[in-house]
Amino acid sequence: MALPVSLLVHDILLKLDLESLSAAACVSKILRSAAALALSSLPSLHLADFSPDDRTLDRILSACGGVTSLTVNCLRVNYRTLEGFLGSHIRELNLLCCSAMPPSALGSIGRKCPNLMVLVLEWAERGSYDEFTGNFHQMLSCCAYLESLCLKIRGVEGPEYAFSSEIWPKSIKVLKLQPALEDDVISLVKEIARNENWPEVIKFPSLPSICLLQSLSLHVRNISDKLVTTIAESMPCLLELELEDRPWKDPLPHGDLTNVGIQSLGSCDQLKSLSLSRNRQNCQTSFKRVNDMGIFLLSEGCKGLESVQFSGFSKVSDAGFASLLHSCKNLKNFEVRNSQSLSDLAFHDLAEAPCSLTELRILSCNLITSETVKKLAFSSKLEVLDLSGCRSIADSSFYSISSLKMLSTLDLAGADITDSGMSKLGQGSAPIQRLSLRGCRRVTDKGISQLVLSGGIVSKTLSSLDLGYMPYVSDKAAHAIATGGIAITELCIRSCFKVTDSSMEALARKGSLENGSRPIRRLDLVGCISLSVQSLQMLKKPLFRGLRWVGIGRTCLVDKGGSVLSEIYEERPWLTVCSGGCEMGCRDGWEYHGGS
Amino acid sequence: MATSRKVTLLSSDGESFEVEQSVAVESITIKDSIEEGSAGNPIPVPKVNSKILAKVIEYCKKHVESAKAEDRVDDEDLVAWDADFVKVDQATLFDLIRAANFLNIKSLLDLTCQTVADMIKGKTPEEKRKTFTIRNDFTPEEEEEVRRENQWAFE
């Protein structure tokens, strides 16, 4: 190329992603040394979209000595592999899906990384409660500059940890603890707020609060007024609040969230983001003691809200939700889940009010129809539209959807749409990248072909497609995707029982043709019962180049695959083959993979 | 506003180009030599031949004009214009990179380097060799070693 090396490294190679850089190293001697220089000056490493094995991770880490911010999907990683890489140079550490990390790792992270500013840990419950607490305290005492701490712990029984501590780093601005004991959380909130040795003066509103905490996220057993009012009173300068609970039974009146609690949030007048959810996993319950009045008072107090997420507010009607939409002029992100009363009426004024919405999610609200979608045609800034579970959405929505020029994510799972809607979408001007049609039983091969072979905008921008649980999706659709969906790298054909080996073959060759089509990187084949064990051979080199994750649960590939699976692992150790039936990337089941 | 001054640039193969000073100083190299007073008139631009210099001047003119324009909607058009500008053969593209580097025109350097980066992305090593006509100069042992280290990225 005859370019000066420093130009090559700093101006060209450093614009590349990690994989292109590593591949460039294999081209020639000059590129090998230039790539090595570029890799060693990368300041951050983001390995979240695949789960490396220990060997691969070790190779990557040894090449990237200059990294101070590290994000790794640790589904298949031993802490030992990471340990050697940690040190006082690490400022940010995001360890996701840690299915096999012992509690001692937490203490070790603290000791090795005293300059840590951001720590995110997704953890599968392991070891004893005391072990965890001891290590947690050690980590807190070592990391005096910690600004952002996020601990997500998942386990079989839904563990509860106590995070109370006397030593909270004074610099802490962002705190996310999932799950936590409610009583401990109340004392924790008071401890943090009191951290600056500023005693009861919090009662005097004229004095500025110097509580640094800006963002708080807590998952507790039961959200109560006491919890919410403690937070509102202790942290009036809060910018972001997320609370989720998962009660085992209907909460009693004195231990539940009511209009009083909601109203108290009105005193956090700088609040930009609010999320309140009641998870129905353990008990079919909701926030029964919050109604429109509470929401009116909230929307009066927190006019600056830019993001609102409400889940489980069964007594709030269109009037309540509409008051938020109209009062919060800067609202960008609006999400309502599981509301049986939210209907098109809440949105009917949307066309008149200037709309700054960029993300709208209305999940499992059966009264929402295409009428709401039509009102959205005026929200030309909309980037994300999620209407999954809204069964009354029909083809007529596509006239409006197709005109949304900034739309990149569209989720219509369970909607009542047909092939004719797909045709409209294929010809429209929405540059959609992520599309979910999960459970749209009336969409067939014909519709999918019209979507990806139309030559329109969508066929060029679509990168992630979810066709799960669609009984009329078969080989023809897979072939269309392999030839036409040039940018598609993530595909879910879960429970598409008509899909056969022929589809596997077509998808395996995608990306190796000269038409610029990108290869499939993540593939969900769970429940594709028509696949034969022969199709496993296609997971070997040189087919499915670049594949990172494949789900084969509930297929014969799991039972009969045996020796072939070992061969696949030997030649492609960086490929994660999930036999457990997890969703894409094991995002919902990583905590059960420990020790593999 | 002062009347636009013109300067003359002399390419390596002896051709002169008269341009507004505001356009010429998009190049920090030229700007510095004018300010230091060390530039003669015409200003010699060694290493950059007339074909490339003409293109560089075209780029600078377009960007100076767009910056002056009242109508900021031109941003999208400028991006499209830039995309067309770099639709050239590889040799010209690399010459433009070298020129932008020598003349220190950051936006042109970023644009041309990003174009090359986009050509490198997503390809296997063999495809990259083919695109840029690079010879594989590894010994078989070296090739085996470097492939083993990096195969996770493309296999």
Write down the ipTM of this complex: 0.87
pTM of the model: 0.90
Contact A23 B123 (CB under 8 A): yes
User: By the 8 A CB rule, do A323 and A295 touch?
Assistant: yes
Q: Taking CB atoms and an 8 Å limit, are B121 and A20 in contact across chains?
A: yes
Question: Do both A188 and A331 map to the same domain?
Answer: yes
Q: What's the 3-state SS for A233-281? A: HHCCCCCEEEEEECCCCCCCHHHCCCHHHHHHHHHCCCCCEEEEEECCC
Confidence of residue B39 (pLDDT cuts 50, 70, 90): low
Look at residue A353 in the predicted model and tell me its pLDDT.
63
Q: Which residues in chain A are closer than 8 Å to B122, comparing Cβ atoms?
A: 20, 518
Across the interface, of B113, B123, B137, the residue whose CB is closest to A28 is B137
* Residue A559 contacts B where some CB pair is shorter than 8 Å: no
* Average pLDDT score, chain B: 88
| Candidate from A14-28, A57-71, A350-364, A378-392 with smallest mean pLDDT | A350-364
DSSP tag of B27: S
Those residues whose C-beta lies under 8 Å from the C-beta of residue A586, and which sit 6 or more positions away, are A51, A75, A97, A549, A576, A578, A580, A593
Same domain, A66 and A147: yes
The tally of domains found in chain A comes to 3
Is B138 within 8 Å of A56 when comparing Cβ atoms? Answer: no
Count other C-beta atoms under 10 Å from residue B154's C-beta: 22
pLDDT of residue A165: 64
- Is residue A50 in a domain? yes
Q: CA-based angle A583:A585:A591, to the nearest 5?
A: 80
Tell whether A187 and A313 lie within a shared domain.
yes
Test the A interface: residue of B86, B119, B150 with most A CBs within 10 Å? B150
Of B48, B51, B50, the residue nearest B27 (C-alpha): B48
Query: Which of B121, B149, B150 has its CB closest to that of A17?
Result: B121
CA A276, CA A243: separation in Å to the nearest integer? 5
CATH number at residue A63: 3.80.10
Contacts of A31 in chain B (CB under 8 A): 134
Of B101, B117, B154, the CB nearest to A546: B154
Q: Which of A23, A542, A573 sits opposite B125 (nearest CB)?
A: A23
Nearest residue of A to residue B107, measured between CA atoms: A11
The answer to whether residue A112 is domain-embedded is yes
Which stretch of DSSP H or E encloses residue A334?
A: strand A333-337
Detail the DSSP E strand segments found in A4-147: 44-47, 69-73, 92-98, 118-124
Give the residue numbers spanning the domain of A83: 44-172
The reply to whether A186 and A324 lie within a common domain is: yes
Q: Assign A91 a pLDDT band (cuts: 50, 70, 90).
A: very high
Same domain, A20 and A74: no
Query: Would A523 be classed as within a structural domain?
Result: no
CB atoms A22 and B152 under 8 Å:
yes
Find chain B residues with C-beta within 8 A of A2's C-beta: 94
Burial of A412 (0-12, 13-18, 19+ CB in 10 A): buried
Final residue of a structural domain among A335, A355, A382: A335
Write the pLDDT tens digit of every residue in A242-269: 999 989 899 998 889 999 999 999 989 8
What pLDDT shows up at residue A208?
A: 40
Could you tell me if A147 and A236 lie in one domain? no
Whether residues A188 and A81 fall in one domain: no
Query: What per-residue confidence (pLDDT) applies to B89?
Result: 93
Q: What is the mean pLDDT of chain A?
A: 89
Task: Give me the residue from A3, A16, A60 closest to B97, CB to CB.
Answer: A3
Does the pLDDT of residue A27 top 80, yes or no? yes
Contact A18/B at CB under 8 A: yes
Determine, for residues B153 and A22 on separate chains, whether the beta-carbon distance falls below 8 Å.
yes
Distance from CA of B150 to the nearest CA of A (A): 6
Write down the pLDDT at residue A190: 77
Question: For residues B57 and B53, what is the distance between their CA atoms, to the nearest angstrom?
Answer: 6
A1 touches chain B (CB under 8 A): yes
Q: Is the pLDDT of residue A196 over 50?
A: no
In a domain, A504, yes or no: no
Kindly state the average pLDDT of the residues A577-588: 93
The reply to whether A100 and A20 lie within a common domain is no
Q: A32 at the B interface (CB within 8 A)?
A: yes
pLDDT bin (cut points 50, 70, 90) of residue A379 is low
Q: Residue A547 domain-assigned? A: no
Same domain for A167 and A53 = yes
Give SS3 for A218: strand
pLDDT: which is higher, A186 or A342: A342
B59 touches B88 (CB < 8 A): no
Alpha-carbon span B47 to B96, nearest angstrom: 11
Residue finishing a domain among A320, A335, A350: A335
Tens of pLDDT, residue by residue over A341-377, are 999 999 887 766 667 899 999 999 989 999 999 888 7
Strand extents, DSSP E, A471-532: 490-492, 522-524
| A29 and A163 assigned to the same domain | no
Same domain, A320 and A187: yes
Q: Which of A4, A20, A29 lies at the smallest CB-CB distance from B138?
A: A29
List, for residues A432-476, the tens digit of each pLDDT value.
999 999 999 999 999 999 999 988 999 999 999 999 999 999 999
Long-range interactions of A413-416: CB distance < 8 A, separation 24+: A413/A388, A413/A389, A413/A437, A413/A438, A413/A439, A413/A440, A413/A466, A414/A388, A414/A389, A414/A390, A414/A438, A414/A439, A414/A440, A415/A387, A415/A388, A415/A390, A415/A391, A415/A440, A416/A391, A416/A392, A416/A440, A416/A442
**Within-domain flag for A319:** yes
Strand extents, DSSP E, A338-450 = 359-363, 384-386, 409-411, 434-436
A536 vs A539: CA distance, rounded Å: 6
Report the range of poorest mean pLDDT among A89-103, A172-186, A509-523.
A172-186
Chain B interface includes A27 (CB < 8 A)? yes
Amino acid at A579: S
Lowest mean pLDDT among A196-200, A580-584, B46-50: A196-200
Q: What letter represents residue B91's amino acid?
A: A
A53 and A127 share a domain?
yes
Shortest alpha-carbon distance between residue B78 and chain A (Å): 19
Q: Is A26 close to B147, i.e. CB distance below 8 A?
A: yes
A288, A303, A335 — which closes off a domain? A335
Query: In chain A, whose CA is at the least distance from the CA of B147?
Result: A26
- Mutation choice for B interface testing from A22, A27, A72 by most B CBs within 10 A: A27
* Measured distance between the N- and C-terminal CA atoms of chain B, rounded to whole angstroms: 60
Q: Does the beta carbon of A59 lie under 8 angstroms from any beta carbon of chain B?
A: yes
Residues of B in contact with A518 (CB under 8 A): 122
Confidence of residue B1 (pLDDT cuts 50, 70, 90): very low
Residues in chain A with CB shorter than 8 Å from the CB of B135 are: 28
Cβ within 8 Å, pair A574-B152 = yes
Eight-state DSSP code of residue A13? G
Q: Is the pLDDT of residue A1 over 80?
A: no
pLDDT of residue A162: 65
Compute the distance between CA of residue A6 and CA of residue A38 in angstroms, rounded to an integer. Answer: 10
Residue A157 pLDDT: 55
**A49 Cα to chain B: minimum distance (Å):** 13
Q: Quick check: A170 pLDDT over 90?
A: no
Distance CA A565, CA A335 (A): 42
Rounded Cα gap, residues A93 and A71, in angstroms: 6
User: Using CB atoms, which residue from B137, B146, B155 is nearest to A572?
Assistant: B155
User: CATH code at A188?
Assistant: 3.80.10.10
Select the residue of A15, A26, A518 nearest B114 (Cβ to Cβ): A15
Six-digit token string for A138? 């050690």
In a domain, A437, yes or no: no
Q: Is residue A372 part of a domain?
A: no
The sheet carrying B16-20 orders its strands as B16-20, B6-10, B43-44
Q: Which residue of B has its CA nearest to A18?
A: B153
Which pLDDT tens digit goes with each residue over A262-310? Answer: 999 998 989 999 999 999 888 899 999 999 999 999 999 999 999 999 9
Give the residue carrying structure tokens 């005097």: A204
